Structure 1
Amino acid sequence: MVSKAFTTGTLGPLTLKNRFIKAATFEGVMTGGRVGDALIDFHAGVARGGAAMTTVAYLAISPGGRVHRDTIVLGADSVAGLRRLTDVVHAEGALACAQIGHAGLVANTLSNRTPSLAPSSRFSAPAMGRVKAATAAQLDAVVEEFGVAARHAVESGFDAIEIHMGHGYLISSFFSPNLNRRTDDFGGNTIRRAELARRVAERVRRAVGETVAVTAKFNMDDGVRQGFWLTESMATAHLLQADGHLDALQLTGGSSLLNPMYYFRGPVPMSEFIASQPVPVGLGLRVIGRRLFREYPFEEAFFLPLARQFRETLDMPLILLGGVNELDTVHGALAEGFEFVAMARALLRDPGLVNRFRDETATAGLCVHCMKCMPTVYSGTRCVIRTPG
């Protein structure tokens, strides 16, 4: 009997060859914001290894929305390079997804040399300074920039678009009662804090039509005091479902701004983080690093208990993310009604893992959850114990 994990799955207008998606993992090889062979090879390896779809992360909708200067802006100038990437992924038998977003409070404004935006004015460590609250006119522009970026993604040959609504990035920060203190149309209660996300989803769908899948990476829990949690995230998910612009939610949690380890789990490789940074930043990490990078023990499928709450109450397709490393976990998630699973670290360690699952030569990935891959995002994201080739 064929495992459901290796049956086709429907994602909006798409048919995926199996139920495995490579989750967005910042590749760290976009020097100067350009598409190069290293980025293409990264995703070609995942496609060759059996995943039904690989996700390119992270593509900014504007220069101010970059994480830092080595982030691709999804504009007209990047279409030709990204088309090279999607053509290679398609030739390897997989589909390609573009994760698009605005970094907001997570943006390194010194690196970008461009101001960023926030729901409410506040200090941001990644920005190394104060980020001002966005005006209504600026938010209108952001919504339009999402639409333009989505259209460029289609021109680049992407089959799907993932809107980044998690991890403290701009849209995610608007969800948060902790970060969003506004009293206008974009803040004050759960419905208004969801307004930006809903406008963006509608604009992206209008830009791409019905031939491209549109999903969102969506926070269930920020992992911070007074942050976005189930009481609001489940209600917000229902709003997004009712609007009908999204084909699926990929469920996540944590905050790159305030609690990044919440969506990784495992030991904090602090010495490697310090070594990867310029001296002043490294000194700062020695002082506050342990407060910023709280440690959570790794557990297989660590987001599953939260994700079950969403599966119980939503009808739309859901993608399980977070510590999926074993084939039995995949079988269990599909049996519980999740349509797909997304994998990140397991495929960094072994890009061919999905094929090995299919061929019954493996039942679990080789990742040891050491987290030493995290600091490599500054020099090319990789598993530090994987043998090249």
Structure 2
Amino acid sequence: MPKQISLFIAIILLMSGRAAIAQSKIDSLLPIRGFCIAAPQPKQLDTFIKFINEELAPRKVNTLILRVDWNYRFETHPELRDSIALSKQEVKKLVRACQKNNIRVIPQINLLGHQSWAKTTHNLLRVYPEFDETPHIKMPEKYVWPNADGLYCKSYCPLHPDVHKIVFALVDEICDVFEADAFHAGMDEVFYIGDDKCPRCGGRDKAELFAGEVNKIRNHLALKNRKLWIWGDRLIDGKTTGIGMWEGSFNNTHRAIDLIEKDVMICDWHYERPDQTAVYFATKGLNVITCPWRNPKNAVLQTQDMVRFRKSVTPVMKERFQGMMQTVWSGAGQFLDEFYGVKVNPDAGENTQSACFKAMFDEIKKMEDGK
């Protein structure tokens, strides 16, 4: 073999080895480095793929949660599609971009709660109103909070005999098209569950109802070797901890933490304070990731906490502290406009989603570099 070729091969092997060591280091630091956002609409797809290639990949993001909900042209239940929705071809384009960059894609459809927003009933209960847990509570013309009905978002009835046939068809289809080995079911901020007027749920234990729905979804996914991810707020006692009714539960669902299967991934979100409830989930035997939103200082502290947790516990516990995930709660288009400076809110100051995203991943890079 000519010396030039041998030297070239040696350089390639050396570079590959260094890359593998670097990847091993960041994976040891934080196994999951995630980003969660609404799936883009078709007109935003190319800009979003540019963002994947030029922003997520260089920051070594390895997990992308896409909140799809009804933004897909479902074939199993076309009646539940949004009027403007991603096609199968467009989803595949997105999936290929993620695969090229070694990013795991996990689609989300909100299950149980978040079946409405403000004065709008979302597609599932709009098309199938018989699934409504609280049909006696009517959607207002003008939504305000707080309100006499305790209406934040509608829920479907987890004990309705026909709801899972439809819901699971959607889950299977969306996981198939995204080639996903996991599914995010949402399940946050469930205020309506076990309503006294529900002929099926009334009088039942709310923790058992919540855990039953989590396990039912988990068991369905397990049939195809897929894992379930959920938000963690309903598993925290919001009263005892003082965390409150949004990031914790006031309706006794928190006891479900001892009833759900231990392979459910918990996405533990705290936006106003860097509360360290990841420790609580890990001690309960659950894998957990910490999720900031728009407070850069909190995101840096939460990242430092997660790395410290992994360093300061037993090997068994260490594997439960899985990492960090930036969350975005605007549409993809609005976030991309903010990120690229197309439309910026001058009143937002430093507490923006894009600033939080940058701060969190800058901190991860510093820790990776040993700074």
TM-score between the two structures when normalised by the length of structure 2: 0.60
Deviation of 1:356 after TM superposition, in Å, equals 6.7
- The partner residue of 1:106 within 117, 120, 125 is 117
Over 3 Å counting, the alpha-carbon distance change for 1:148 and 1:48 in structure 2 is: farther
In structure 2, what is the equivalent of residue 370 of structure 1?
A: none
In structure 2, what is the equivalent of residue 343 of structure 1?
A: 326
In structure 2, give the amino acid aligned to 1:201. Answer: R
Cα distance in 2 for partners of 1:329, 1:25 equals 23
- Pair 1:53-2:81 in alignment: no
- The partner residue of 1:195 within 199, 206, 212 is 212
In structure 2, give the amino acid aligned to 1:348. Answer: S
Cα distance in 2 for partners of 1:198, 1:54 equals 23
Identity percentage of aligned residues: 9
- The partner residue of 1:354 within 348, 352, 361 is 361
In structure 1, what is the equivalent of residue 333 of structure 2?
A: none
Cα distance in 1 for partners of 2:168, 2:87 equals 16
Are the equivalent residues in 2 in contact too, given 1:317–1:339 (CA < 8 A)?
yes
Deviation of 1:19 after TM superposition, in Å, equals 3.0
- Pair 1:309-2:292 in alignment: no
- Pair 1:163-2:185 in alignment: yes
In structure 1, give the amino acid aligned to 2:186. Answer: H
Deviation of 1:107 after TM superposition, in Å, equals 7.2
In structure 2, what is the equivalent of residue 18 of structure 1?
A: 31
Whichever of the two has the greater Rg, that structure is 2
Over 3 Å counting, the alpha-carbon distance change for 1:355 and 1:97 in structure 2 is: farther
Over 3 Å counting, the alpha-carbon distance change for 1:356 and 1:135 in structure 2 is: closer
Are the equivalent residues in 1 in contact too, given 2:121–2:139 (CA < 8 A)?
no
Cα distance in 1 for partners of 2:230, 2:191 equals 15
Are the equivalent residues in 1 in contact too, given 2:158–2:209 (CA < 8 A)?
no
Q: Please list the CA deviations of residues 84-131 of structure 1 after superposition, one character each: whole Å capped at 9, or x if unmatched.
A: 111101111221111122431337637869356542232446996999
Are the equivalent residues in 2 in contact too, given 1:186–1:194 (CA < 8 A)?
no
Task: Extract unaligned runs of 5+ from structure 2.
Answer: 1-20, 145-150, 293-297, 329-351
Over 3 Å counting, the alpha-carbon distance change for 1:54 and 1:264 in structure 2 is: same
Cα distance in 1 for partners of 2:310, 2:196 equals 35
In structure 2, what is the equivalent of residue 86 of structure 1?
A: 95
In structure 1, give the amino acid aligned to 2:64. Answer: T
In structure 1, give the amino acid aligned to 2:221. Answer: V
Q: How does 1:199-278 map to 2 (within 5 A)?
A: 199-206=216-223, 209-210=224-225, 212-220=226-234, 221=236, 229=249, 232-241=252-261, 246-252=263-269, 264-265=271-272
Over 3 Å counting, the alpha-carbon distance change for 1:237 and 1:154 in structure 2 is: farther
Over 3 Å counting, the alpha-carbon distance change for 1:140 and 1:48 in structure 2 is: farther
In structure 1, what is the equivalent of residue 308 of structure 2?
A: 332
Number of aligned pairs?
A: 287
In structure 2, give the amino acid aligned to 1:149. Answer: L
Cα distance in 1 for partners of 2:115, 2:107 equals 18
Over 3 Å counting, the alpha-carbon distance change for 1:114 and 1:40 in structure 2 is: farther
In structure 1, what is the equivalent of residue 163 of structure 2?
A: 142
Q: Report the more deviating stretch, 51-60 or 226-235.
A: 226-235
TM-score between the two structures when normalised by the length of structure 1: 0.57
Cα distance in 1 for partners of 2:258, 2:324 equals 21
Q: Report the more deviating stretch, 124-133 or 114-123.
A: 124-133
Over 3 Å counting, the alpha-carbon distance change for 1:135 and 1:341 in structure 2 is: closer
Once superposed, what is the RMSD of the aligned Cα atoms? 4.5
Cα distance in 2 for partners of 1:247, 1:155 equals 22
Q: Report the more deviating stretch, 156-165 or 344-353.
A: 344-353
Q: Please list the CA deviations of residues 356-383 of structure 1 after superposition, one character each: whole Å capped at 9, or x if unmatched.
A: 733669899xxxxxxxxxxxxxxxxxxx
In structure 2, give the amino acid aligned to 1:308. Answer: V
Over 3 Å counting, the alpha-carbon distance change for 1:8 and 1:362 in structure 2 is: closer
Deviation of 1:331 after TM superposition, in Å, equals 1.3
Cα distance in 2 for partners of 1:226, 1:52 equals 28
In structure 2, give the amino acid aligned to 1:109. Answer: T
In structure 2, what is the equivalent of residue 36 of structure 1?
A: 45
Cα distance in 1 for partners of 2:353, 2:181 equals 21
- Pair 1:119-2:95 in alignment: no
In structure 1, give the amino acid aligned to 2:300. Answer: N
